[in-house]
């Protein structure tokens, strides 16, 4: 391992598994004996077909989804999905339901609003600054879909389970928690995730769509904005972001073969999160910002007694090799993002550092 | 240099400068002493600001464009630009002019058609299977813009100069020839280029827009599809494709500092192209498919006496370390793409191989 690397708690782009980075580095001038870099090979070639097909197959296997679902690789991030979802999936006269749990949900709702479609905010936790996941919903009967943000990177909350929508397809922005735990995803009509938190580098968004949802896609929207275009062309109507897809493939391979699958990953993630939350529950120096039952396994948000101490904490942490602990610019405070690639060792070392910092400054 | 690398004549994704690949490889686990990979650093950080700002500044310097222009980094490839251009730049009642010089122009026109806007095909070379660049145009007075494809990757043609549009802003898809030669780009309102041919890996499209064009952008289109979003947020409204932007930065740095700028690059490109076209002009075994005065500096398309020989040629070439010589699946034949990163040495070796192949099979 490169000794000069830091413990990276960035919220996204975020830490990637070191073995994945090392494999990319090792093969960077000659990918699979092609005599070319992965950045130089044709996307219309057998070696790249193997990459994209393997990435999709592993995603479905890990998430326990069958051939009712297609895995698509789309550019533009989750933010483009906010627009593509109502554009593709709402039929004339239908209503879309949204649950508002923070910044990203609010942005998703704004894109529905821009398009002038009918939507209903079925629940919101804005009353307490989004520090919890709502439990009561006013769903629209026969809504086209119910959109949720499964994990809220900025507010540090996560859905522990998913709401019963009485058969209406769920849609989730899982950018910051996809593949962090074992869940039944069958109620979902569409799942999407910008790769740069849990599954890869920035530059590709994984979209998993139940095939029957594709019947809704109108032909009157631009080709590159139709889910059917990606579905019919194996995400290669035009040149896909090859390097990003390749990295996703390697991360999913690592998750299956090195970590050992989602149950193992979930166990590790729960242990990592517990060591931090236990610290909060046993001191008044660090206080978590999310309600206990809504706490995220991925983004641990917390405050120190005052802003000066928070500044000092972030700076000292960085000096000691812990990066990315500043809270999102919109909320302040501190945040440790502990995605799949963040090791138990890194979290344990952070907790040790935090205890020492408390002793010296508490 | 890695001895196991081939001479790469891929049409895109295509060869990248070896020093650029080596620098990426070298720093891949620790970018600029951050202790993180370029794929792991935050886009909201000083090191990434330096990358994206430097990439934009170099592009403007190389293309001799001043502060009237903004450089944007957009995902979705040139294919998404086909849709974004009419969506952003056409006002109610206005007409868009298009010149049709092949597959990519046709696709650009199709996206205008899907949106139901008024458009006019001001010229087309379809009558002779797009083997030339038209010289006569029926432009619409006061059109919103005139769209051209500056180089036609599939047909091997390239505009030698640009048409006089009487003040109507030109828009060009320069995906396959941006930065290949010195040209006056002041008549252009917008230039765009998917990176994966001349300036980087797949996954980012560079869009250079004259600022006054931004006044046309309506607020009723989705946030991620508005040029103003990218312009106002330095292409970071959401997470940009960091790795792709970084690679573009390194390629532009190589072009400025190692090659020595566009005049030098153009000289090299003209020499490379001439060695291949001279071969065609001195044998009947290889025949170029483009009209002489429309020949591309970037994509040299040619035929052999019959398809069996073409197949044999492509296979033997690959065995001898020359990759990517098969013509586009839609037209057949052969094609050597000789973008900026393809060396004079690689082209000279290819010509030698071609002469030997002719001797043995002619």
- The answer to whether the beta carbons of residues A138 and A100 sit under 8 Å apart is no
Give the separation between CA B305 and CA B170, rounded to whole angstroms: 39
A166 Cα to chain B: minimum distance (Å): 30
Looking at residue A331, its pLDDT comes to: 86
pLDDT in tens, B348-357: 999 999 999 9
- A20-258 belongs to which CATH class? alpha beta
Would you call A173 helix, strand, or coil by DSSP? Answer: strand
Q: Decide: A179 and A255 in contact? Cβ < 8 Å.
A: yes
The answer to whether B324 and A42 have CB atoms below 8 angstroms apart is: yes
- Distance, in Å, from the CA atom of A205 to the CA atom of A216, rounded to the nearest integer, reads 21
Chain A CB within 8 Å of residue B21 CB? yes
Can you give the pLDDT at residue A329?
84
> Looking at residue B181, what is its pLDDT?
98
Confidence of residue B196 (pLDDT cuts 50, 70, 90): very high
Among the partner-chain residues A42, A224, A329, the one whose CB lies closest to the CB of B83 is A224
Burial of B11 (0-12, 13-18, 19+ CB in 10 A): buried
Task: List CB contacts (< 8 A) between B154 and chain A.
Answer: none
Report whether CATH 3.30.1360.20 matches the domain A261-361: no
Chain-centroid distance, C-alpha A100: 17
Catalytic (active site) residue A345: no
pLDDT digits (tens, 9 = 90+) for B261-278: 999 999 999 999 999 999
CB pairs under 8 A between A and B: 226
Looking at the DSSP bridge assignments, the partners of residue A207 are A72, A192
Is A344 within 8 Å of chain B by CB? no
Instruction: Decide if A104 is catalytic.
Output: yes
ipTM over the 0.90 cut-off:
yes
Quote the mean pLDDT of chain B.
97
Are the beta carbons of B41 and A10 separated by less than 8 Å?
A: yes
Scanning A273-312 for CB atoms below 8 A from B yields none
List, as one string, the DSSP characters of A178-217.
TTSS----TTEEEEEEETTTTTS-TT-EEEEEEGGGGGG-
Cα–Cα dist B328/B11, whole Å? 8
Q: From the list B2, B40, B321, which residue is nearest A29 (CB)?
A: B2
Distance between CA atoms of residues B246 and B253, nearest Å: 11
Strands B95-100 vs A287-288: parallel, antiparallel or unpaired: unpaired
Between the alpha carbon of residue A67 and those of residues A59, A64, A181, the distances in Å are 12, 10, 21
A4·B40 Cβ contact <8 A? no
B13-41 residue pLDDT tens:
999 999 999 999 999 999 999 999 999 99
* Owner of token pair 């403007």: B60
Query: A71 has which bridge partners?
Result: A208
Among A155, A173, A177, A254, the one annotated catalytic: A173
Task: State CA A77 to chain mean position distance.
Answer: 11
Residues 64-93 of A with CB under 8 A from B: 75-80, 82-83, 87
Alpha carbons A190 and A172: distance in angstroms, whole number? 7
Beta carbons of A302 and A287 less than 8 angstroms apart: yes
pLDDT above 70 (res B3):
no
pLDDT in tens, B89-141: 999 999 999 999 999 999 999 999 999 999 999 999 999 999 999 999 999 99
Task: Single out the residue of A98, A74, A75 nearest to residue A171, CA to CA.
Answer: A98
Task: Give the C-alpha separation, A35 to A326, whole Å.
Answer: 42
Whole-model pTM? 0.98
Residue of A nearest to B87 (CA): A222
Q: Does residue B13 have a cis peptide bond before it, meaning omega lies within 30 degrees of 0?
A: yes
* Residue positions of B annotated with a catalytic role: 104, 173, 197
Distance of CA A160 to CAs A62, A181, A255, A337, B266, Å?
19, 10, 22, 18, 59
Q: Which residues make up the CATH 3.90.1150.10 domain(s) of chain B?
A: 261-361
Taken in order A129, A132, A273, A353, the sign of the CA dihedral is: positive
* A309 vs A324: CA distance, rounded Å: 16
Domain with CATH 3.40.640.10 in chain B: 20-258
Q: Which residue has the tokens 């990435």?
A: A55
8 Å CB contact between B68 and B169: no
Mean pLDDT for each 10-residue chunk of chain A (362 residues)?
82 97 98 97 97 98 97 98 98 97 98 97 97 98 97 97 96 98 96 98 98 97 98 98 98 98 98 98 96 98 97 97 93 96 98 97 90
Residue A344 designated active-site? no
pLDDT of residue B329: 84
- CB nearest to A43's CB, from B13, B200, B324: B13
Residues B168 and B142: their CA atoms lie apart, in Å, by: 7
Largest distance between two CA atoms of chain A:
63
Q: Are A324 and A36 in contact (CB under 8 A)?
A: no
Contact B35 A329 (CB under 8 A): no
Question: Per the CB < 8 Å rule, is B242 touching A201?
Answer: yes
pLDDT of residue B1: 42
Mutant choice from A204, A220, A228, A243 vs B, greatest count of B C-beta within 10 A: A243
Check CB contact under 8 Å for A203 and B110: no
pLDDT of residue A160: 96
Tens digit of pLDDT for each residue in B129-183?
999 999 999 999 999 999 999 999 999 999 999 999 999 999 999 999 999 999 9
Given a cut of 90, whether residue B296 has pLDDT beyond it is yes
Proportion of chain B above pLDDT 70, given as a percent = 99
Chain A CB within 8 Å of residue B349 CB: no
Q: Nearest Cα to B70, choosing from B185, B208, B234, B190?
A: B208
Q: Where are the beta strands (DSSP E) in chain B?
A: 7-8, 69-74, 95-100, 118-124, 145-149, 151-152, 157-158, 170-173, 188-194, 205-210, 287-288, 299-303, 322-323, 334-337
């Amino acid at each position: 391992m490169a000794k000069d690397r830091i413990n990276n708690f960035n919220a996204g782009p975020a830490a990637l598994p070191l073995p994945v980075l090392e494999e990319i580095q090792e093969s960077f001038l000659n990918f699979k004996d092609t005599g070319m870099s992965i950045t130089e090979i044709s996307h219309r070639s057998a070696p790249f077909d193997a990459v994209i097909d393997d990435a999709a197959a592993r995603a479905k296997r890990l998430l326990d989804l069958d051939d009712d679902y297609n895995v698509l690789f789309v550019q533009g991030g989750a933010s483009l999905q906010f627009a593509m979802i109502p554009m593709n999936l709402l039929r004339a006269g239908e209503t879309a339901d949204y649950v508002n749990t923070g910044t990203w949900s609010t942005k998703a709702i704004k894109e529905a609003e821009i398009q002038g479609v009918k939507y209903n905010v079925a629940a919101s936790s804005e009353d307490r600054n989004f520090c919890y996941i709502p439990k009561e919903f006013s769903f629209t009967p026969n809504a086209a879909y119910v959109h949720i943000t499964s994990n809220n990177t900025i507010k540090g909350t996560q859905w522990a389970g998913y709401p019963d929508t009485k058969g209406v397809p769920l849609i989730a922005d899982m950018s910051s928690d996809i593949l962090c735990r074992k869940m039944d995803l069958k109620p979902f009509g569409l799942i999407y995730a910008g790769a740069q938190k849990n599954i890869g580098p920035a530059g590709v968004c994984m979209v998993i769509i139940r095939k029957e949802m594709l019947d809704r896609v109108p032909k009157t929207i631009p080709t590159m904005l139709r889910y059917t275009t990606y579905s019919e062309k194996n995400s290669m109507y035009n040149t896909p972001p090859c390097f990003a897809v390749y990295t996703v493939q390697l991360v999913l391979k690592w998750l299956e073969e090195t970590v050992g699958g989602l149950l193992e990953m979930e166990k590790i993630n729960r242990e990592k999160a517990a060591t931090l939350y236990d610290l909060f529950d046993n001191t008044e120096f660090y206080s978590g910002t999310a309600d206990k039952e809504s706490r995220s396994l991925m983004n641990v948000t917390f405050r120190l007694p005052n802003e000066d101490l928070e500044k000092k904490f972030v700076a000292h942490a960085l000096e000691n090799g812990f990066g990315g602990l500043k809270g999102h610019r919109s909320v302040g405070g501190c945040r440790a993002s502990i995605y799949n690639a963040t090791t138990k060792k890194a979290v344990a070392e952070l907790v040790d550092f935090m205890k020492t910092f408390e002793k010296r400054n508490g």
